[in-house]
Structure 1
Amino acid sequence: MVDTDLPRIAILDDYQKVAFTFADWTPLRDRAIIDVYHDTLHDEDALAQRLEPYQIICAMRERTKFPASLLDRLPNLQLITTTGSKNRGIDLPHAKSKGIFVSNTTGGGNSTQEHIWALILGTARHLALEHSGLKASRQAWQTTIPIGLSGKTLGLVGVGKLGEGAAKIAKAFGVEFAASKEELFQSSDVVSIHMVLSERTYRLVTEADLRLMKPTAVFINTSRGPLVDEAGLIAVLKEKKIVGAGLDVFDVEPLPLDHPFRRLENVTLSPHLGYVSDDAYKVWWPETVENIVAFLDGKPQRPLSA
């Protein structure tokens, strides 16, 4: 018989169904009721109805957002523990004002940096298009001409930790660098964006910026979808104003099944895998369990800072 007085835990957005695979949850077996959700709800009414009974929520990065309006509708919520050391999808000041403790985890590996270059190389060499053609038994043997990167110019929009790392790897390809934003889009052969999403950076990359790019250029986004004018990018790709784009992030995630990106041949897509790796999961999920146990013991740990 289930003890209904036990606290309830919701594990959200476990797309790959691995929460119980990468961590030992037995320390919580007799201390809580645990439910796992493998989908993402965007409608706040539906989300509030789903989450209303829970005292503890395990968030996978920013897949589900927790603005003040949602937090106000979760009267039982006491703890949010999020994977990773940052989560701009949680209104931290409002959570604090409501007495909701927010924990984070550390990380492992270097998955985003690896994924940036997977998309750059995959897009430049038309890997996804040629792969799908071969798998579909396409009669034509070769249909595209890959773009060589040696001696080309890499434009980095944002040179923080990820941008710096991309620059170091770029040196191995003999890639050069641009200065101003206008010059960056006009002169770069590959433009890669590495910015934090905020009110100031929303739609930072405009359609006008994209139309400055060379017809032989490639656009890469592994940061956040809303940094870019999505409709403008779709228009530029449809008109083949650039060679292609490599995208790991989108305005709405998961990407709707009828989204135009899914039908464009000059786009290499991945489902926001930049921060996902076995190395990261081996840290995130065990530390999530640790955070919950510590909270239930009255010793909350790893507070998330803004």
Structure 2
Amino acid sequence: MTKLRCAVLDDYQGVARSLGDWRRIAPQVDTEFLDTHLVSQDDLVHALEDREIVVVMRERTPFPAGLLARLPRLRLLITSGMRNAAIDLEAAGRQGVTVCGTVSNSEPPAELTWALILGLARQVVPESTALRSGGPWQHSLGADLHGRRLGLLGLGKIGRKVARVGAAFGMDVMAWSPHLTPERAAEGGAVAAASKEELLESSDFVSVHLVLGDRTRGLIGEKELRRMRDSAYLVNTSRAAIVDQAALLRALEEGWIAGAGTDVFETEPLPLDDPLRTAPRLLALPHLGYVTRRNYEGYFGQAVEDIEAFLAGSPVRVLG
């Protein structure tokens, strides 16, 4: 029997093989793990043109219609998570490609949000760097959380978890999203803002937890950043395009806000010459929000399950 061929993309940490039981599909599928990010469509076609199955990590590698058309052997595309805006589901359907997902836990990105908030508030990186390099002792003054306002743009699964921690710190939690009602806000542990502008103007920390779409792309631009207090911090662990990146860079360079923390970028990995790499007042991480052992065990374990179900003729967790 001729085996199918599977490629697991963007295995940056080299852990995909050990965190999924790929032996279960070994009699029917040869699996290769790729740890180098393939940027160009030509490179992707060269690597994947003979693969029937491809496993992708989140939205690291887009699969638009043009790429799918150049992969005629592809039959099954699996993504971590149950939503992936970088895959053209309609084109995949027309081409007969089944797209499946895996369950993603919302706790890790909520936890990382607080790593960024606390890191900014207490100047953790600058103080640690000064200590290790023999720099000045206690050269910054921390921002308080207790008694301050946490403004959440979005109060879904992740936003609600962030709200609970804010309340535990003694913060005043306010939330806004396009269709958030006072009742739903109260259920999520927050007070509903009358408007996005009210939230931005009155919050000491603003954290983004919205889904990227036509209505949220560029939601926070120059006008919105200028509404924030110059002592306030902006945190984004959702999607980079929700915040206008050029406006954010200006806000950091010119001191419109006290600082920002981000875990997401419009191009990932972030190019070496991107000005955000050296922007002042920025605490930046390489999209670690979902990168935990429990999440990865779920991703790769369920990717194997998705392949097994597909081979049995009964695909599970199908997207679209």
Fold conserved between structures, TM > 0.5: yes
Q: Superposition pairs for residues 1-306 of structure 1, below 5 Å?
A: 5-108=2-105, 110-135=107-132, 137-176=133-172, 177=174, 178-305=193-320
Kindly provide the CA deviation profile for residues 171-199 of structure 1, in whole angstroms up to 9, marking residues without a partner as x: 11222224311121111111111111122
Task: Identify unmatched segments of 5+ residues in structure 2.
Answer: 175-192
Q: Provide the rounded CA distance (Å) in 1 between the counterparts of 2:169 and 2:194.
A: 19
**How far is the alpha carbon of 1:109 from its aligned partner?**
6.6
Give TM-score scaled by structure 1 length: 0.93
Separation of aligned partners in 1, 2:135 and 2:116: 26
In structure 2, what is the Cα distance between the partners aligned to 1:179 and 1:48? 49
**Between the two proteins, what is the percent identity of the paired residues?**
45
Q: Larger deviation: 77-86 or 216-225?
A: 77-86
* Superposition TM-score, scaled by structure 2 size: 0.89
Other-structure match for 2:188: none
Query: Counterpart amino acid of 1:287?
Result: Q
Does the CA contact (< 8 Å) of 2:56 and 2:77 recur in 1?
Answer: yes
Secondary structure in 1 matching 2:78: strand
Contact 1:154 1:190 survives alignment (8 Å): yes
Aligned residues: 301
Work out whether residues 129 and 265 of structure 1, in 8 Å CA contact, stay in contact via their aligned partners in 2.
no
CA contact (8 A) 1:186 1:213 kept: yes
User: In the aligned structure 1, how far is the partner of 2:37 from the partner of 2:242?
Assistant: 21
Q: How far off its partner does 1:99 sit?
A: 0.9
> Which consecutive segments of 4 or more residues in structure 1 shift more than 4 A?
none
Give me the CA root mean square deviation.
1.7
Look up the SS of the partner of 2:212 in the other structure.
coil
Q: For 2:264, what is the secondary structure of its paired residue?
A: coil
Name the CA shift for 1:201/1:69 in 2 (closer, same or farther; >3 Å).
farther
The offset of 1:158, in angstroms, is 1.7
Q: Is the 8 A contact 1:205 1:229 kept in 2?
A: yes
Q: CA deviation at 1:108?
A: 4.3
Q: What CA deviation, in whole Å up to 9, does each residue of 1:271-297 have, x standing for no partner?
A: 111112111112211111121122223
Counterpart secondary structure, 1:170: helix
| Counterpart code for 1:232 | A
The letter for the 1-side match of 2:34 is Y
- In 2, distance between residues paired with 1:130 and 1:264? 17
Contact 2:218–2:241 under 8 Å retained in 1? yes
- Structure 1, unmatched stretches of 5+, are none
**Residues 109 and 279 in structure 1, CA contact (< 8 A), matched pair in contact too:** no
Whether the 8 Å CA contact 1:197–1:226 is kept in 2: the answer is yes
CA distance in 2 between counterparts of 1:247 and 1:291 reads 32
Contact 2:233 2:258 in 1 (8 A): yes
Amino acid at match of 2:94: S
Cα deviations by residue, 1:205-249 (Å, 9 ceiling, x for unpaired): 112111111111000000011111101101110112211111000
Distance (Å, rounded) in 2 between the aligned partners of 1:138 and 1:203: 41
SS in 1 for 2:306: helix
Give yes or no for contact 1:196–1:223 (8 Å, CA) kept in 2.
yes
Structure 2 distance, partners of 1:23, 1:180, is: 45
